[in-house]
Structure 1
């Protein structure tokens, strides 16, 4: 899944975190947020700063 930035994934911070941390990895979905530099296969373990970027 490719989005411009994390805010395009959704507005509900908890739900967006659930998608990026649990739902996508379980289903082997690669998630890219171009402007935020998020690429799930290139992240080790947790996604580092990504949870903080979900906070509006």
Structure 2
């Protein structure tokens, strides 16, 4: 998912260079949404791993 966010970021930058502001804004919005979804999933999985490791060791 993070690769997809990076892809949209690159598309947004290229579209911005060539003057396609609508496509650039839409791609940047999608990159931002995908980035925050990836970060949220990472934090949830990290917390689950920490809690299960703590319960197994104790």
TM tier relative to shorter chain:
0.3 to 0.5
Between structures 1 and 2, the one with greater helix share: 2
Which of the two has higher C-alpha Rg?
Answer: 2
Give the number of the structure with larger relative contact order, counting CA–CA contacts within 8 Å between residues 6 or more apart.
1
> Taking structure 1 as the reference length, what is the TM-score of the superposition?
0.36
